[in-house]
Amino acid sequence: MQNFSYWNPSRIIFGKGTMSEVGKETAKWGRKVLFHFGGGSIKKNGVFDAVTASLKDAGLQIVYLGGVVPNPHLSLVREGIALCKKEHVDFVLAVGGGSVIDSAKAIAFGAKLPASQDVWNDYYMKADYTIAEALPLGVVLTIPAAGSESSTGSVITDAEHGLKRAVNSETLISKFAVMDPQTNYSLPAYQTACGASDILAHLQERYFTTVEHNDLSDRLLEACMRNVITNAPLALQYPDEYRYRAELMWTGTIAHNNLLDRGRVGDWATHDIEHELSALYDIAHGAGLAILFPAWMRYVHKVDIDRFVQYATRVWNVDLPLSDKEGIVEEAILRLQAFYKRIGMPTTLADAGIPEDKLRFMAENAFVGERTYLGNFQKLYVGDVEKIYRLAL
């Protein structure tokens, strides 16, 4: 286990009826709130009205900015930054999923940048994580998936140039996240499944490390993976059952609040490779991960086959003779793909209608900016990335 520091100050307010606490929590940090939201699901399921009422009860002023799309656009981030400056907003509240939260994070630090700096060119494209300050940010989460509610990350898409890039900084951790699993009842099945796929990916990216002797993290990650594998199909079968929604929602937060990769180095190549897919073809992030994770596993597993055997036996209960390690790993990958299929995820590029003509372009695009290689378990270069896309055809 490597040395580490861990700090995550995001207050998690979890459970039934918690949306009424948004106003009180927000009032600890600001008076004039940018209420940032997506394409309108919150107006249909009552979240918009509940959050507005709570903010008004607390005597707060509200400036609304809706219209965040999945794979959120830089153009709306720029609009939000200008709006915050014009209206002298002092708090940003994200009400929605990872896309809304990530857009809100970009606005929150963009609004504090000096005029000489640009949120996209100087931070996302440079992978510059030295974000000095940001407006305080709160979250009302409506979909368990990205883990952005208490993560350090924000992922934004420059739709004009087809680039999707991330920043990571403790400055971007929310002050609080209100999480009522009942808000998930209105999720389309496909979005529930995409969320489960993303949560599982966050656990797997942390699991596949070359750092040894970090058993506690292994065991915690395995428990979380098994929890997703058990509860995602149940949430799909019984969309209004609180307990399955609650399991997924809490696991989604734990999976990405950085607790589970302390003392080790995770991988994240699959995420980086996926971001090219969703930037170019605008598919859901979780769907892209379901397509690419098995391909990545087949490509890199020889680096440490024993780690993959451990994953196969402890997470997927593969019970084949230990003399056949390759067979054990392949069986685990097949079970992973069967899980994705069962919850309605695509498992090949063809399933998602993605042609093979731009695989080289996407592989090269993944290196635009300040990147020399992707991943850590095995360092990947352009040729490797192209081969992984090909394995996913």
* Residue 96 touches which member of ligand NZQ, Zn ion, none, C-beta under 5-8 Å by kind: ligand NZQ
Q: Give whichever of 184 and 204 is closer to Zn ion, judged by the CB atom.
A: 204
Q: Give whichever of 67 and 195 is closer to Zn ion, judged by the CB atom.
A: 195
* Residue 182 touches which member of ligand NZQ, Zn ion, none, C-beta under 5-8 Å by kind: none
Residues that bind ligand NZQ (CB under 6 A): 38-42, 45, 70-71, 96-100, 102, 142-143, 145-148, 151, 153-155, 183-184, 186-187, 191, 194-195, 198, 256, 271, 285-286
- The full length of the chain comes to 393
Determine phi and psi for 195, rounding to 5 degrees.
Answer: -60, -45
To ligand NZQ, the closest distance from the beta carbon of 258 in angstroms equals 10
Q: Give whichever of 41 and 204 is closer to ligand NZQ, judged by the CB atom.
A: 41
To ligand NZQ, the closest distance from the beta carbon of 384 in angstroms equals 21
Would you count residue 198 as binding Zn ion (CB under 5 A)? yes
Q: Give whichever of 198 and 218 is closer to Zn ion, judged by the CB atom.
A: 198
**Residue bearing tokens 């942390």:** 206
**Closest of 210, 253, 342, 191 to residue 10, by C-alpha:** 253
Stretch that binds Zn ion, among 41-49, 121-129, 197-205, 364-372 (CB under 5 A): 197-205
To ligand NZQ, the closest distance from the beta carbon of 355 in angstroms equals 22
* Residue 85, both tokens: 């400056």
To ligand NZQ, the closest distance from the beta carbon of 158 in angstroms equals 13
* Residue 375 touches which member of Zn ion, ligand NZQ, none, C-beta under 5-8 Å by kind: none
Identify the sign of the CA torsion 87, 93, 99, 104.
positive
* Residue 337 touches which member of ligand NZQ, Zn ion, none, C-beta under 5-8 Å by kind: none
For the residues of 148-212, what is the DSSP string, one character each? TTS-SEEEEEETTTTEEEEEE-GGGS-SEEEE-GGGGGGS-HHHHHHHHHHHHHHHHHHH--S--
Q: What three-state secondary structure class fits 36?
A: strand
132 burial type by CB count under 10 A (0-12 exposed, 13-18 middle, 19+ buried): exposed
- State how far the alpha carbon of 21 is from the alpha carbons of 55, 215, 257, 261, in Å: 9, 38, 22, 31
* Residue 108 touches which member of Zn ion, ligand NZQ, none, C-beta under 5-8 Å by kind: none
To ligand NZQ, the closest distance from the beta carbon of 202 in angstroms equals 6
- State how far the alpha carbon of 87 is from the alpha carbons of 52, 103, 181, in Å: 18, 18, 33
To Zn ion, the closest distance from the beta carbon of 373 in angstroms equals 20
- Sites of contact with Zn ion (CB under 5 A): 198
